[in-house]
Amino acid sequence: MQLDVLAFGAHPDDVELFAGGTMAKMAALGYSTGIVDMTRGELGTRGTAALRRHEAAKAAEILRVKVRENLGLSDGEVSVTPQARLKVIRLLRKYRPQLVLTHYWDDRHPDHAHTSRLVAEAVHHSGLAKIKTRQERHRPRIILYFKIPPHTIPSFIVDVSDHIEQRTAAIAAHRSQLFDPSSREPSTTLSQPDFLTHVETIHSFYGTLIGKKKGEAFHIKGILEIKDPVLHFR
């Protein structure tokens, strides 16, 4: 199956949290989308790998992604190795996306930072004919980096105002990670009562920057080309 968009997150809830609205919007526009989780999130303080797999499948359904795969790398140990890179290359050549989404490289969580580098290297190497996987080579056109740090100006912002309910429901599908007054598991940043409000505030901020209700920000390496300025700014 060929996909238009493939998003890579280190843990099963990352894509939902940082690009869930964009994934929902692209599916609504008729593009075929997919998510790859690098790990099963088994090192997470709350929930189990099995529960998280179930939650991730539910979130994928809500975002209408056609494919959700898990690379099975070790949570907390995501590293840029030739073996891990090859796993990503196989998926890129299998699904042949034009757009790849992943974490911004400057992130204090080592798994996020390493996922970013791993995906960027795989996107490049996937286009090299001499890297053999018994598949045709394929290099996606661009990587859109999400969860950009506060000091980095977005390259662009996607208006996701019409897809907030879907994104919220997809995030809520990861129930084991979020605030639950009846839970006896240890608390984490995500499980704080205010966490979802903070997420919403960031997206309101990005939305405000483009005069919309909610937005998701992305960074690209290089400068964004506009083919037709009149059409673009009309």
* Residues 233/210, Cβ–Cβ less than 8 Å: no
For Zn ion, the closer of residues 159 and 171 by Cβ is 171
Going by the DSSP 8-state scheme, the letter that residue 161 receives in this structure is G
40 binds Zn ion (CB under 5 A): no
Point out which span in 3-11, 69-77, 131-139, 199-207 binds Zn ion (CB under 5 A): 3-11
Sheet with 67-73: strands ordered across: 67-73, 33-39, 5-9, 99-103, 142-146
3-state secondary structure at position 156: strand
93 binds Zn ion (CB under 5 A): no
Phi, psi of 127, deg, nearest 5: -90, 0
Q: Which of 4, 14, 55, 159 binds Zn ion (CB under 5 A)?
A: 14
For Zn ion, the closer of residues 98 and 188 by Cβ is 188
Q: Which residue of this chain has its Cβ atom nearest to Zn ion in the complex?
A: 11
Least separation in angstroms between CB 147 and Zn ion: 9
Find tokens 């994928």 and name the residue. Answer: 60
Size of the site for Zn ion (CB under 5 A): 3
Site string for Zn ion, 126-165 (x = CB under 5 A): ----------------------------------------
* Residues 112/102, Cβ–Cβ less than 8 Å: no
11 binds Zn ion (CB under 5 A): yes
* Residues 99/6, Cβ–Cβ less than 8 Å: yes
10 binds Zn ion (CB under 5 A): yes
Point out which span in 7-15, 140-148, 153-161, 188-196 binds Zn ion (CB under 5 A): 7-15
Q: For the residues of 19-85, what is the DSSP string, one character each?
A: HHHHHHHHHHTT--EEEEEEE--TTSSSS-HHHHHHHHHHHHHHTT-SEEEEEEEPTT-----HHHH
For Zn ion, the closer of residues 10 and 173 by Cβ is 10
For Zn ion, the closer of residues 4 and 14 by Cβ is 14
Interface ranges with Zn ion (CB under 5 A): 10-11, 14
